[in-house]
Structure 1
Amino acid sequence: MNALSGEQFVSGEELAKQAGISRTAISKHIDSLEDYGVEIFSVKGKGYKLANPVSLIDEDQLTRSLNNRCFYFNELPSTNAFLLKHVNELASGDICIAEYQSAGRGRRGRSWVSPYGCHLYCSMYWKLEQGMAQASGLSLVVACSLVKVLQNFGIEDLGVKWPNDIYLNNKKLAGVLIEMSGQADSECHLVVGIGINISMSQSQGDKIDQAWSDLSANPSCPGKTELAIALQKQLHQDFSTFELQGLTAFLDRWQQVDVFLGKQVKLLMGDNQIDGICRGIDESGAILLETDEGIKTFVGGEISLRSTS
């Protein structure tokens, strides 16, 4: 992979020599990389090179830098699914990272485009002693954590879209999927999955049904390993604060980056549409809309937010 990361094309013959395999085997490896969503330029007489940079996690640096356990894989169906399968063996703050997810998921069962090595696919485990009821609003905390980490790296023009999408230059940069198991009023296992676009190829981007952004053109773009380390530490800190103070401690942080705050919006709930002005969120994480009937709160599964403009 490193041999293809430079500015110049590399011939199949040279790749075969470096890898100690035949040119036919190189051709098969190139085809398999494309199956994993890695776009490769191939020019007859010149050879190959990556269309977009691919950066892999430095596992040694990752494990040295964090106090929690780090599960790192080249390929997994889903980092969330892996942690959910092992909740009884985990401690709060343990993370799982994969370079490729064959069954990555977003909210509402949508697939998450997960080309190999191009983005950060990370999940973190947390145990809530007071049960699922305590988790209300936690997805908004995750969004605040992500924004703070990226801002600390010098990335600007960030925003959040209720309930937990992260935007860069008004295009989706990252998403969050929280899954739980346990009881409503006793011990609850929580897994927080995060996908951050780092270097999206156009062919992969064409599979996404909304405007997207990535970090590749940003001069402040951090290394993927450094980003993963900073994210785990920020989530650990913010989750500890959330357990003690609830969402109240994060209302100001959310309001500062809410992309729809004060704007005319429409809220879609199944076949119903509610029009109003976004007035932020309440202490439970519900969205506040100023309607003709006054300010109302909305929360729940099939809700999406769209600007009327």
Structure 2
Amino acid sequence: MIEQWGRKREILTALAGGQFVSGEELAKQAGISRTAISKHIDALEDYGVEIFSVKGKGYKLANPVSLIDEDQLTRSLNHRCFYFDELPSTNAFLLKHVHELTAGDICIAEYQSAGRGRRGRSWVSPYGCHLYCSMYWKLEQGMSQASGLSLVVACSLVKVLQSFGIEDLGVKWPNDIYLNNKKLAGVLIEMSGQADSECHLVVGIGINISMSQSQGDKIGQAWSDLSANPSCPSKTELAIALQKQLQQDFSTFEQLGLTAFLPRWQEVDVFFGKQVKLLMGDNQIEGICKGVDESGAILLETDNGIKAFVGGEISLRSAT
């Protein structure tokens, strides 16, 4: 496996300049045959990397592929980072090893074969194109303490992106991050433990870095990525800043609860003060979004007053 990905990484490095490189030149650089190069190219395409192949010119990346700098990552963090070229799911990996972890440890993969989003949805995870990162945390007071934590994660991510100069960001309850009113990132929190005792928490984050149109067509909603943003940091810098911000904000959350983050949430809530509808199974309620309360429930103003709604099966949509 190491040798297999080592060759593929060499090929991606050779193609990183954005120009066509002949199969002969790639073979020479890698010290393998042109047939072997062709097989590695085919395999990379199977992992979601789009590569132009033109007879007489060679190969060229259709979109930039940015890989994590593992050395920079480990030098910059005081916690363990488990880094893989491919995994079924970064969340699943950490959940499997919770008893061996320390709060703040992270897992990053360049490709997920079974990436997951909220409500069991799949998360499009082509190799090297985006950031797929999960962080472990332990809540001593149990699952009951985790109420509203997904909103904290969304606020943390927005703060990190803003620190790099990225603007026009917003959050959509409970934990989607938007750029220019299109989905940029999502959060999936999974837990194991008891309601009122030690609880193991894994926070998974997927951020679109460089999305091709064919990948985007699989998503089924309006999306955005960071590729055209002049302030876009490297994927490694983003991962480092995100781990540090999450660790800081989780510590604050444990001490002060969600209340400390409500002003930050309201500043970037894309639906605050707007007409929205909540979809709950076969039921639908319309009203004006009034933000969230101290537990993370969304507040909706209707003719009957303001009421709080919370639950993993609720979807929020614009009513206009």
Q: TM-score when scaled to structure 1?
A: 0.99
Superposition misfits of 4+ residues, deviation over 2 angstroms:
none
Kindly state the Cα deviation for residue 161 of structure 1 after the two structures are TM-superposed: 0.2
Checking the alignment, whether the CA contact within 8 Å between 2:141 and 2:198 is kept in structure 1 is yes
Once the two structures are superposed, what CA deviation does each residue of 1:22-50 show, in whole Å capped at 9, x if it has no partner? 11111111110010000111111111111
Kindly state the Cα deviation for residue 194 of structure 1 after the two structures are TM-superposed: 0.2
Kindly state the Cα deviation for residue 231 of structure 1 after the two structures are TM-superposed: 0.1
Checking the alignment, whether the CA contact within 8 Å between 2:150 and 2:174 is kept in structure 1 is yes
Once the two structures are superposed, what CA deviation does each residue of 1:99-118 show, in whole Å capped at 9, x if it has no partner? 11110000000000000001
Checking the alignment, whether the CA contact within 8 Å between 1:106 and 1:175 is kept in structure 2 is yes
Kindly state the Cα deviation for residue 7 of structure 1 after the two structures are TM-superposed: 2.7
Once the two structures are superposed, what CA deviation does each residue of 1:198-248 show, in whole Å capped at 9, x if it has no partner? 001111111111000000000000000000000000000000000000000
- For residues 52 and 161 of structure 2, the distance between their equivalents in structure 1, rounded to whole angstroms, comes to 31
What is the SS of the residue equivalent to 2:60?
A: strand
Checking the alignment, whether the CA contact within 8 Å between 1:145 and 1:238 is kept in structure 2 is yes
- For residues 18 and 269 of structure 2, the distance between their equivalents in structure 1, rounded to whole angstroms, comes to 39
What is the SS of the residue equivalent to 2:112?
A: coil
Once the two structures are superposed, what CA deviation does each residue of 1:78-101 show, in whole Å capped at 9, x if it has no partner? 000000001001111000000111
What is the SS of the residue equivalent to 1:121?
A: strand
Q: Provide the aligned C-alpha RMSD in A.
A: 0.6
What is the SS of the residue equivalent to 2:210?
A: coil
Checking the alignment, whether the CA contact within 8 Å between 1:159 and 1:257 is kept in structure 2 is yes
What is the SS of the residue equivalent to 1:124?
A: strand
Once the two structures are superposed, what CA deviation does each residue of 1:232-278 show, in whole Å capped at 9, x if it has no partner? 00000000000000000000000000000000000000000000000
Q: Name 1:26's counterpart in structure 2.
A: 37
- For residues 80 and 115 of structure 1, the distance between their equivalents in structure 2, rounded to whole angstroms, comes to 17
Mapping of residues 56-67 of structure 1, within 5 Å: 56-67=67-78
What is the SS of the residue equivalent to 2:68?
A: coil
Per mean C-alpha deviation after superposition, the further-off stretch among 20-29 and 226-235 is 20-29
Kindly state the Cα deviation for residue 2 of structure 1 after the two structures are TM-superposed: 1.0
What is the SS of the residue equivalent to 1:100?
A: strand
- For residues 18 and 301 of structure 2, the distance between their equivalents in structure 1, rounded to whole angstroms, comes to 53
Checking the alignment, whether the CA contact within 8 Å between 1:262 and 1:277 is kept in structure 2 is yes
Kindly state the Cα deviation for residue 301 of structure 1 after the two structures are TM-superposed: 1.4
Checking the alignment, whether the CA contact within 8 Å between 2:18 and 2:64 is kept in structure 1 is no
1:17 aligns with 2:28: yes
1:263 aligns with 2:274: yes
Kindly state the Cα deviation for residue 8 of structure 1 after the two structures are TM-superposed: 1.6
Give the counterpart of 1:74 among 53, 69, 85.
85
Checking the alignment, whether the CA contact within 8 Å between 2:133 and 2:205 is kept in structure 1 is yes
1:91 aligns with 2:102: yes
Per mean C-alpha deviation after superposition, the further-off stretch among 78-87 and 5-14 is 5-14
Percent identity for Structure 1 against Structure 2:
91
Checking the alignment, whether the CA contact within 8 Å between 1:145 and 1:234 is kept in structure 2 is yes
Checking the alignment, whether the CA contact within 8 Å between 1:39 and 1:203 is kept in structure 2 is no
Checking the alignment, whether the CA contact within 8 Å between 2:182 and 2:223 is kept in structure 1 is yes
Per mean C-alpha deviation after superposition, the further-off stretch among 131-140 and 65-74 is 65-74
- For residues 294 and 164 of structure 2, the distance between their equivalents in structure 1, rounded to whole angstroms, comes to 29
**Gaps (5+ residues) in structure 1?**
none
